[in-house]
Amino acid sequence: MKKKSLFDLLGIRYPILQGGMLWLADAKLAAAVSNAGALGTLSPYAGMQPNGDPIENLRRQIHKTRELTSKSFAVNIPLDLPASGLLIDVLLLEKVTIAVTAAGSPGIYTQLLHSAGIRVLHVIGSVSQAVFAESCGVDALIVEGVEAAGRVGREEIPLFTLLPQVVDSVSIPLVAAGGIADGRGMAGAFVLGSAGVQMGTRFVAVEECPAHIAYKQAIIECRDSGTVITRRSSTPTRSLRSMFIEELSAMERSGEPTDRIEKFIGLNRAWMAQVAGDLENGDAYAGTSAEIIREILPAGAVIRKLIKECRETICRINDFPYSSVS
Query: Given a cut of 60, is residue 3 above it in pLDDT?
Result: no
With respect to residue 54, please indicate whether it lies within any of the assigned structural domains: yes
CATH number of the domain that 32 lies in? 3.20.20.70
User: What is the overall mean pLDDT for the chain?
Assistant: 93
At 231 the pLDDT is 86
**Residue 3 DSSP one-character state:** P
At 125 the pLDDT is 95
Query: Given a cut of 50, is residue 1 above it in pLDDT?
Result: no
Same domain for 205 and 248? no
With respect to residue 317, please indicate whether it lies within any of the assigned structural domains: no
Task: Name the amino acid, one letter, at 21.
Answer: M
At 184 the pLDDT is 95
How many Å apart are CA 29 and CA 140, to the nearest integer? 23
Same domain for 54 and 70? yes
Query: Given a cut of 50, is residue 108 above it in pLDDT?
Result: yes
Where helices occur in the chain by DSSP H, the ranges are 6-10, 27-35, 54-68, 84-93, 110-115, 127-135, 159-167, 183-191, 201-204, 213-221, 243-253, 258-265, 269-274, 299-318
Looking at beta carbons, which pairs linking 277-281 to residues 24 or more positions away fall under 8 Å? Answer: 277/212, 277/213, 277/214, 277/215, 279/214, 279/215, 279/218, 279/240, 279/242, 280/242, 280/243, 280/244, 281/242, 281/243, 281/244
**Residue 233 DSSP one-character state:** T
The 10s digit of each residue's pLDDT in 64-81 is 999 999 999 999 999 988
Q: How confident is the model at residue 180 (pLDDT cuts 50, 70, 90)?
A: very high
Query: Given a cut of 70, is residue 226 above it in pLDDT?
Result: yes
Same domain for 40 and 28? yes
H/E element, 174: strand 174-177
Same domain for 56 and 116? yes
Same domain for 93 and 157? yes
Mean pLDDT of 124-152: 96
**Range among 6-10, 29-33, 80-84 with highest mean pLDDT value:** 29-33
Same domain for 85 and 187? yes
Count Cα atoms within 13 angstroms, Cβ side, for 72: 22
- Closest C-alpha among 14, 4, 102, 84 to residue 44: 84
Split into its structural domains, the chain has a count of 2
With respect to residue 41, please indicate whether it lies within any of the assigned structural domains: yes
At 322 the pLDDT is 62
Domain range enclosing 53: 10-210+294-310
Mean pLDDT of 187-213: 97
Mean pLDDT of 204-214: 97
At 2 the pLDDT is 43
Mean pLDDT of 293-309: 96
At 259 the pLDDT is 87
- Closest C-alpha among 106, 98, 151 to residue 128: 106
Query: Given a cut of 70, is residue 26 above it in pLDDT?
Result: yes
The 10s digit of each residue's pLDDT in 167-176 is 999 999 999 9
At 34 the pLDDT is 98
CA angle 45, 50, 51 (to 5 degrees): 110
With respect to residue 320, please indicate whether it lies within any of the assigned structural domains: no
Same domain for 198 and 147? yes
With respect to residue 114, please indicate whether it lies within any of the assigned structural domains: yes
At 319 the pLDDT is 73
H/E element, 175: strand 174-177
How many Å apart are CA 198 and CA 255, to the nearest integer? 35
Same domain for 187 and 170? yes
With respect to residue 16, please indicate whether it lies within any of the assigned structural domains: yes
At 219 the pLDDT is 97
With respect to residue 67, please indicate whether it lies within any of the assigned structural domains: yes
Question: Of 89-98, 229-238, 266-275, 294-303, where does mean pLDDT reach its minimum?
Answer: 229-238
**Residue 5 DSSP one-character state:** P
Instruction: Give percent above pLDDT 70 in the chain.
Output: 97
The 10s digit of each residue's pLDDT in 234-278 is 789 999 999 999 999 999 999 888 889 889 988 899 999 999 999
Same domain for 127 and 172? yes
Same domain for 186 and 250? no
Same domain for 135 and 23? yes
At 288 the pLDDT is 95
Cβ count within 10 A of residue 301: 13
Query: Given a cut of 60, is residue 326 above it in pLDDT?
Result: no
Please say whether the beta carbons of 99 and 118 come within 8 A.
Answer: yes
CA angle 180, 99, 136 (to 5 degrees): 95
Q: How confident is the model at residue 318 (pLDDT cuts 50, 70, 90)?
A: confident
With respect to residue 246, please indicate whether it lies within any of the assigned structural domains: yes
Q: How confident is the model at residue 325 (pLDDT cuts 50, 70, 90)?
A: low
Same domain for 106 and 233? no
